[in-house]
């Protein structure tokens, strides 16, 4: 039996097992920093399938982690869902997650997208890629390293150093190239800024439309979302003038931001929590991450939505995301050295 066949069979078995445990199975207390209305479908489908009622508390990741720490052994949290590996690792370091055993998750979720101790698992991905104005840029940067090339001076827009996406990108560069080279890269990158760092990822794309920037970096799902539905400042005409590059395809590969979750350390409904994570790894849920929120599935072989497929396939950076998350303090020092506000 091939690994792919085995994964498909386990995925089908997982959904069958989840469905067969249906009804009168109690509740699940979910702490989530995912702020997407489209996730409602994931929750309602899980409840319809299992009869497990989901009670949800939403806040930013740091607030949720602090809350779980304060609640201690009395915490009602069963699951923590959040965005970005650094936050997942922060939750692990805070002691608010626990290791679990799940053959379904081990088989479905690639090793690079799960914690070494099985305290967290990734369920959807976004590549952090280069976008550019096709009218003004005939030779776009093909890698993250290229973004520090003086040829692009005054052309690049990016988010603030306080943003977690900036922190994990530089942390990955540290992991791939070392602290010294990452520092030199950051200084060159900052020298190429067209404006002071500001706004979110959608604002970096809008900067291309307004002419403030010729090159920007954004997570794929912000652009894919604009392909699928109306986004202010990113109409069809504007999108047609924006090109994109999956960076470093001949080197480390495109940097990935991961959305994932883990079972809370003191989960009162641990079995239900594991069932929920296994559901998130099912083909049904994985397809909805793509169709509902324009993300790349974590499980290999799951079909892409039209908006995501438009961006295309690529080679992701296979760097150990656990190690990347550990580099955030070093990244913050680099921001200070380089003057990245």
The domain segmentation of the chain, as residue ranges, is: 3-125+258-311, 126-254+320-338
Same fold yes or no, 3-125+258-311 and 126-254+320-338: yes
Q: CA nearest 25: which of 282, 285, 286, 274?
A: 274
- Domain 126-254+320-338: homologous superfamily in CATH: Periplasmic binding protein-like II (3.40.190.10)
Backbone torsions φ then ψ of 150, nearest 5 degrees? -60, -15
Which class would CATH give 3-125+258-311? alpha beta
pLDDT of residue 20: 40
State the pTM of this model.
0.87
Q: What is the pLDDT of residue 231?
A: 94
Q: Is the pLDDT of residue 149 over 60?
A: yes
- Rounded to whole angstroms, the Cα distance separating 21 from 24 reads 9
Alpha helices in 192-327 (DSSP H): 201-210, 220-228, 236-240, 270-280, 283-293, 306-311, 321-326
What is the predicted pLDDT for the residue at 36? 76
What's the confidence (pLDDT) of residue 3? 41
Comparing 232 with 4, the larger pLDDT belongs to 232
Tokens 């190239």 correspond to what residue?
177
170-198: per-residue pLDDT in tens? 999 999 999 999 999 999 999 999 999 99
Contact status, residue 263 vs residue 280, Cβ threshold 8 Å: no
pLDDT at 286 over 90: yes
End-to-end CA distance of the chain: 53
Which tens digits make up the pLDDT trace of 304-322? 999 999 999 999 998 988 8
Per-residue confidence (pLDDT) for residue 2, from 0 to 100: 40
Question: Residue 72 burial by CB count (10 A; 0-12/13-18/19+): exposed, middle or buried?
Answer: exposed
Per DSSP, 73 falls in state: G
Q: Are 48 and 25 in contact (CB under 8 A)?
A: no
- Please state, rounded to an integer, the average pLDDT across all residues of the chain: 92
């Amino acid at each position: 039996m091939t690994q792919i066949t085995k994964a498909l069979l386990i995925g089908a078995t997982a959904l069958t097992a989840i469905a067969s445990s249906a009804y009168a199975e109690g509740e699940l207390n979910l702490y989530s920093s995912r702020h997407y209305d489209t996730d409602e479908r994931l929750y309602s489908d899980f409840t319809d399938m299992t009869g497990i009622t989901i009670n949800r508390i939403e806040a930013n990741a740091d607030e949720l982690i602090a809350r779980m720490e304060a609640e201690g052994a009395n915490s009602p949290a069963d699951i923590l869902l959040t965005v970005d590996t650094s936050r997942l690792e922060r939750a692990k370091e805070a002691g608010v997650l626990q290791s679990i055993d799940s053959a379904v998750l081990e088989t479905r979720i690639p090793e690079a997208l799960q914690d070494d101790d099985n305290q967290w698992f990734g369920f959807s991905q976004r590549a952090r890629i280069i976008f550019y104005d096709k009218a003004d840029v005939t030779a776009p940067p093909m890698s993250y390293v290229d973004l520090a090339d003086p040829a692009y001076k005054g052309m690049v827009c990016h988010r603030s150093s306080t943003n977690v996406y900036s922190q994990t990108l530089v942390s990955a560069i540290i992991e791939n190239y070392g602290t010294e080279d990452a520092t030199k890269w950051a200084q060159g990158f900052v020298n190429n800024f067209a404006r002071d760092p500001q706004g979110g990822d959608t604002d970096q794309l809008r900067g291309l439309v307004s002419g403030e920037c010729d090159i920007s970096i954004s997570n794929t799902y912000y652009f894919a979302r604009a392909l699928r539905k109306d986004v202010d400042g990113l109409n069809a005409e504007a999108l047609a003038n924006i090109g994109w590059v999956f960076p470093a395809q001949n080197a480390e590969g495109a940097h990935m931001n991961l959305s994932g979750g883990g079972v809370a350390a003191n989960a009162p409904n641990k079995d239900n929590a594991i069932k929920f994570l296994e559901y998130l790894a099912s083909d049904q849920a994985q397809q909805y991450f793509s169709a509902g929120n324009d993300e790349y599935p974590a499980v290999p072989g799951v079909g892409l939505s039209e908006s995501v497929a438009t961006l295309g396939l690529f080679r992701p950076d296979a760097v150990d995301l656990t190690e990347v998350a550990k580099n955030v303090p070093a990244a913050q020092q680099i921001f200070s050295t380089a003057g990245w506000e």
